[in-house]
Chains A and B, each alone.
Chain A
Amino acid sequence: MNTTLQKGLRTGTIFGLIILFLYMIGFTTIMSALLGDFLDLKGPSVGAGSVPGLVVLIGLIGLWAGAVASQSGDLSEDTWLKALVGGLAAGVISGLILALLAVVLNSLEDVARIRQYLVQISPQTINLFLLGRETGMAVAPLYLALMTASGLLGAALSRLLGRGRLRTAIASRRDAAEKALFSIPFLKKEEGRRILRLSIFAVLLALLFLMPQRLGQYWNFTLGTVGIYVLMGLGLNIVVGLAGLLDLGYVAFFAVGAYTIGLLTAPQPHGIMWDFWAVLPLGIVIASIAGILLGIPVLRLRGDYLAIVTLGFGEIIRVLARSDLLASFAGGPQGIRNIGGPSLFGNPLNSERAFMYFIIISIILVIFITTRLERSSVGRAWIAMREDETVAQAMGINTYRAKLLAFAIGAAFAGLGGVLFASRNQYTGPEDHSLLVSINVLALVIVGGMGSIPGVILGALALKGLPEMLRQLEDYRILAFGALLVVMMILRPEGLWPSTRRKIEIHTVEEELPPEPVHPRSTDQPVTTRLDTASDVTISTDVREA
């Protein structure tokens, strides 16, 4: 009971502070408006926010807090009383924090001064938080009641649905469906399954090719951007996901592709107006050469040095592109305009729809190449290297060459993305190639699942496509990416849609190295096939001494 209470109090404090934080960064205001619109709530609105929307938002967070607080310790020891005590404690504490905030906001006198420091605290947002009332003191007990009720409700709901019960129910349904599917005589044979798989692919492909026809200009453009991020994600997936090299300057190769087509097809600054089709392969080749040139010095470094050097390199490219030194050569801060587009038999193909087709075809090509590579000896070398470089080397893999190859291929894909992006937008400039792009791509690869192709696509749709639909939340996108990276690493390092191998690898390592370094290795742990790093190092030194 004590631990339940403790957990409830802790959860309540954390959730209360989270709401406080969300208020301070102005998220509650925008989200309340969105919720108000979405649920079509009638009620007063203050400034940009909606009062009932805010109540719903805070209530939902309270439900969540209650649900989290109700689950403590052993699954078998869960009781109604415990769940409710946890939920109650969480609700009361978070309610108290909100009530305190309400009192403080109510008693603020010189709001204009506070606003100089914390830009989100304005009379409107204060009024919104006080639910549109002038008398703020009455709001404090209201918040306490709201949080207590929603905390209790959350605990009751979570108890009712049962922790893990939902997940096991879904899993058992899935297993049953799978069993039923494979009991069909046609699917019992491997042949039949392959036909099914191929036909699913064919249907998906047909849908993919019909899609741009049905979409308007805006959606073709937006999804085209998502598609270019898929391309870059697939490239970075080889570097980070397969080969395990953390590249934070990936945008540099994207920039090389974009500037290649810019400099060679635009009337300014050089007047070399080559054909798109001639420059496309050139851009890819130059990008991969850039990858090799950067890779030669830096790939001998330790993993984390590599991250920082590539980051520095990405910044160098951007600073150089902006600088006066290269202004006459690369357009300087204004960038390059009127970049040429492709044409086929004299017909220009530079509509958003045509580019959407280009992008889809490129993605399919890249996926094909990636899957073939992944299953080749090169791909296996990459994966071996990612899992343990020393062992991979001992197995006779030339890790340096394998890394260079990964870098070159990843750079080539980014170059392709850059060429398509610059050509479609008919513009490229230094701000298209900021560090943010690298971080976006890295985040989508990691959230989707390192080393997993469907994961990359899912990640791009989730991180690049979803924000397009929620334009109002644009300001919080990067902030959420940062938080997402941390949370993903803690809760689900293998990503949303992991490759099977990666999943096994991460969990094996976790089992092998317990988080507490103090404990001696227990004997009842599963025997893993992976070689132990420490013992392997000693082997290699023995060899050298001998």
Chain B
Amino acid sequence: MKEAAIPRTRAPINAYRIGQAVIGVLFTAFFLWRLYNVLFVQAVYGADTWLRFLISGLIIGAVYAVIAIGYTLVYGILFMINFAHGEVMMLGAFAGYFTFEALNAWVVDPAGELTFLNAYPVLSIILAFLAGILVSTTMGILLERIAYRPLRGAPRLVPLISAIGASIFLQNTAQALFGPGRRTYVNPSILTRNAGVTLVVNNRDVIITYTGIFTFILCILLLIGLYFLVKKSRFGRAMRAVAENKQTAALMGIDVDGVISRTFAISGALAGAAGVMWGIHNGIIYHYVGFIPGLKAFTSAVLGGIGNIPGAMLGGMFLGIVESLGPAALGLNFQLKDVIAFSILVLVLIFRPSGILGEVLSEEKV
């Protein structure tokens, strides 16, 4: 946002700066005091517990990063928060769940004990991801086609409200279709939850679960793949051109609508993969499961600088770790995890609205 050089608006800016400084000092003091308290006065957590928090934060952070990419891509190109992105992820998670369920019901062993899911676990996982990605990609494309495309060029508030409407609609549709209950992901036995590699720290066991390792590695692979797609491929170049200036891109022979549609497809595919990973790692899904992760992923995107792909990755990791370590470090109840995440959003927007790595948006949009 440009600060107009009109003398009248200068006074509140100064007051604002002072306020910023005061809030900053207060928060830092509070943070240091709590941290000191937790580490040296109460000393409730040993090194093993901290390590456990750090690991779970890294894994969740990687998932946030993958979801955040979807926000950042769409924001960079249309300058619009795709509010329904979390719901796209939720639908992907459900698709993966149904695939696992169906494969688990399919008995392949003549003895009647072994189901397809456990007989061919790798294939099952690939199938689940394919289903999740397929559903989410389709949803992403449909969403753009139905709810956003007719509104291109309308005042800014209009597509945003439409996106909120789409999000509410998808959430409640999932509730009506699949019921309000929570469902537990049935993983193949090679990805049993709670089983994993055991480290011994501080004479205590720290388990790094297989689902966690799997999720983390897959996320990193997806992020690397996406980075090269955007930076090196022909489509990536077209996408960046459209993000920079739609009219000029169109004059250069780029199919703007097609690029936008494909951007939604890619962000949907990433959300679908994230949804299946969420299900495999966390185990429980329901119709509301995409909403809070969606908000947090958006927070990550803002944190890293919206429109900035490495920024979104970094922001996701950062948010995951802070959210996981934060309640412990501040000596607060773990119920307040979400409060910490959203407080970070507010703080980042107060102190550095352009994010850690800075926004990458074309001049006209900023």
Interface residues of A (CB under 8 A from B): 24-27, 113, 116-120, 240, 244, 246, 248, 296-298, 300-305, 307-309, 311-313, 315-316, 319-320, 322-325, 390, 393-394, 396, 398-401, 439, 442, 446, 475-476, 478-479, 481-486, 488-490, 493, 505-506, 509-510, 513-515, 517-518, 534, 537, 540-541, 543-544
Contact = CB atoms under 8 A, between A and B. Distances in A.
A370 B153 CA distance: 30
A323 B161 contact: no
B46 interface: no
Given A303-B156, A510-B154, 8 more contacts: A303-B157, A305-B302, A307-B164, A324-B335, A485-B169, A493-B158, A540-B2, A543-B4
Contact of B157 (A244, A313, A396, A478): A244
A248 B291 CA distance: 14
Contacts of B157: 240, 244, 246, 303
A25 B160 contact: no
Interface string B70-112: 0000000000110000000000000000100100010000000
7 contacts: A304-B156, A309-B349, A476-B176, A482-B165, A482-B168, A482-B171, A505-B155
Contacts of A113: 105
Contacts of A543: 4-5
Given A244-B157, A478-B172, A537-B364, A298 B98 contact: no
Contact of A25 (B153, B177, B247, B302): B177
B8 A396 contact: yes
Interface centre among A118, A401, A490 (most CB of B within 10 A): A490
Interface centre among A506, A513, A517, A540 (most CB of B within 10 A): A517
B167 A482 contact: yes
Interface stretch (B58-66, B143-151, B204-212, B307-315): B143-151
B161 A246 contact: yes
Interface in B202-255: 246-247, 250
Contacts of A515: 150, 152-153
Interface in B293-352: 295, 298-299, 302, 332-333, 335-336, 338-339, 342-343, 345-346, 349-350
A323 B5 contact: no
Nearest to A518: B250
Given A323-B335, A506-B155, A509-B155, A301 B342 contact: no
Contacts of A489: 147, 151, 154, 158-159, 161-162, 165
Contacts of B6: 393-394, 396
B169 A486 contact: yes
A134 B178 CA distance: 26
A209 B335 CA distance: 47
B295 A311 contact: yes
Contacts of B175: 479
Given A315-B342, A490-B151, A118 B349 contact: no
Contact of A481 (B168, B179, B350): B168
A27 B1 CA distance: 46
Contacts of B246: 517
A485 B353 contact: no
B134 interface: no
Interface centre among B23, B339, B350 (most CB of A within 10 A): B339
B258 interface: no
A312 B299 CA distance: 10
Contacts of B198: none
Given A481-B165, A486-B146, A544 B153 contact: no
Contact of B81 (A304, A482, A517): A304
A297 B172 contact: no
A138 to B, nearest CB: 28
Given A305-B349, A390-B4, A518-B256, A485 B177 contact: no
Nearest to A487: B165
Given A393-B6, A396-B8, A517-B152, A120 B176 contact: yes
B336 A325 contact: yes
A394 B9 CA distance: 10
The 6 closest A-B pairs by CB, nearest first: A485-B165, A482-B169, A482-B168, A312-B342, A25-B176, A479-B172
B176 A479 contact: yes
B335 A319 contact: yes
A458 to B, nearest CB: 18
Contacts of B98: 117
Nearest to A314: B342
Given A118-B177, A319-B336, A486 B165 contact: yes
B110 to A, nearest CB: 21
B191 interface: no
A500 B200 CA distance: 71
B169 A323 contact: no
B130 interface: no
A320 B339 contact: yes
B258 to A, nearest CB: 12
A420 to B, nearest CB: 26
Given A119-B178, A489-B151, A517-B247, A309 B4 contact: no
A482 B83 CA distance: 12
B80 A304 contact: yes
Given A479-B173, A485-B165, A246 B150 contact: no
B152 to A, nearest CB: 5
Given A248-B164, A486-B166, A540 B256 contact: no
B289 interface: no
A119 B177 CA distance: 6
Contacts of A312: 295, 299, 342, 345-346
Given A312-B342, A325-B336, A297 B168 contact: no
